[in-house]
Structure 1
Amino acid sequence: MTEAARQYVPLTCHGHSRPVPHLCFSSLEKDGQYFMISACKDGNPMLRDGTTGDWIGTFIGHKGAVWQARLSPDISNAATASADFTAKIWDTHTGEVLYTLQHDHIVRAVAYPPDNSDLIATGGHEKKLRVFDLSEYNRNSNHGQNGHGQNGTTRPEPLVIPASSGHEIGEGVHKDSIKSIIWTQNPSIIVTASNKTLRWFDLPTKQVIREEVLDGEIKSCELVSLAPEYTSPNDIGGGMPVLAVAAGRWVYFWSGPNAMDELKRMDMKHMVASVGIDLKGRKIVVGEEPGTWAKVCRWDDGSDIETHKGHHGPIWSVVFSPDNKLYATGSEDGTIKMWKNCEGPYGLWRADKHVD
């Protein structure tokens, strides 16, 4: 079977009622399990089994669109950024809100560092990058009890933290809304996407150390990484995470511990809404805008491999699983599709069915 013909039937995850602007996979657990969280403009982010897409739970509590959602490094918590002027931190086991970070405008972006589930960065229409250390706050003190947990025990109310108590990084630097935040493999370096500009910040000094102005407004910005046991020096990026950015007609890629080493930039000849990268298979997946298709192209020369059809709106998010065996697309049409990226059975794909 030719490479171009091997387009596996995708799994479609329903449940959302509005566009899905962002997806995120968790890290890989010891048993090989992982999870996926989806942000949605219906205000109800969802947690799913990463390999099957099966629904696990919905986080209820936002009063506006949720623009971004991420899972903490230890998968115990999830963070969401919302149009209701809050970022919320959730317990992934119970679905309860643990912390509400109260901002003064729409929150568009949240991020965790690679190795600390107590730190969270936020950004949005306030044009401020802030870092919060949740270990500084004790949810169990100075707050009343609200509701009942298992065995009749009471549980603390969510702790409301004003955004002003966060540590602002690069004060006054951003002139436009912050649409995405990436915490690099170096915990001291954070990257923001704002309008056409990527900025790298050094946390100890709170200063900008690099800026890149891209071809157009940045539509997607993700750090693509694999679980350590799946990385190889032969991967794109040499086994390091790769920062993948879609802006204007171009897609851009940086690697290295600080995500500062430019690997490549590619002119896609049309506007792009999102990009993901298969580090091992040396290919990229690009969501078109306007359009509903995802183009799969070779990393080395940009040539087309195949076109994914099935969504009914632009694809805003393309993310690869931590084992690289599938990737997911989130669309304006309110659905998530999962595409197989390996040979043989995997997840719910029991045979090598493919689209002719």
Structure 2
Amino acid sequence: MKTVKVGIIGCGSIAQHRHLPEYKMNKEVEIVAVCDINEQRALEVSKQYGAKAYTNHEELLASGTVDAVSVCTPNYLHAPISILALNKGVHVLCEKPMATSKEEAQAMIQAAKDSGKKLMIGHNQRFVSSHQKARELIECGEMGRIYSFRTAFGHGGPEQWSVDGKESWFFKKNEAFIGAMGDLGVHKTDLLRYILGEEIVEVGAFVQTSAKEFANVDDNAVCVLKTESGIIGTLAASWAYVGQEDNSTIIYGEKGILRIEDHPTYSLIVQYATGEVANYELGKIQSNDEGGQDNSHVIEQFVDAIVEDKEPAVSGEEGAKSLSVILAALESHETKQMVSTFLAIKEAAV
């Protein structure tokens, strides 16, 4: 099998700290191109990885030098760049949220089908060991019937790690489309769908800006979610957690409670109804704090899908279903009503 020649479009923090290092670690990949509208940034990254620098993604895609690209741009560019790449016969790994609307998401999925190329969305929480173990325990019936859950993802905000600080696109509605709910909340909607093994079909939400006065996107969101079997729970996404990052999930079941990423040592704690406790030390979740796992496994999953010609671990359809939940959350906040995601989920499955 020939080496997969890869280009990275958007050389900000996620590209520099996740995509580029993980591609470099992969023996089946050659990084041949990088692209950023900031020419100096593109040149610096290109020198570091021995790749050709571009400032225009259309030129990169027209060069015919890449088999696959990572799209690590501001959210509003995810769909148009991904669609162009797929139409050029290039495999795409797109950062989350995959798009800014269900129509964009569907257009991306259709472009992948028409081109026969892979489209994967970068939802890395599915590949965390504690999350995989929790899914396994639920799937095999160890927890019995699941009643409820609560999940949170919060930290001090992108200005702490973005290459552009407070000037980052994350805080600009015309580029980001959505704030903490799109940055962090979509991770958790995807995770809940993965762990519980069913769809979220109804959403009620408060989505607001309260901590970042310089931003015009949300920095705090709290949602009530209901799954197709009737499991109810809450999701919180925040850029206003001034202390340690919180990336925890707790699942309440008939036979016990799963505490995931809620302890400094044990990444999964199972508290059984019998009083027995099982502690799992599975390694820390990838985070902005020190000590998290070095490998998101997203890149290796994407490359494997290309090399082995198989369905990506997080397909465009899966990304669209997770996106539909945050779109419903926005609608719920605006209308002050519960919003069904059922239609969006059915459309994503077509």
Q: With CA pairs under 8 Å and 6+ residues apart, which has the higher RCO, 1 or 2?
A: 2
Higher strand share: 1
TM superposition score category, shorter chain reference = under 0.3
Q: TM-score, normalised by structure 1?
A: 0.28
Higher helix share: 2
Q: TM-score, normalised by structure 2?
A: 0.28
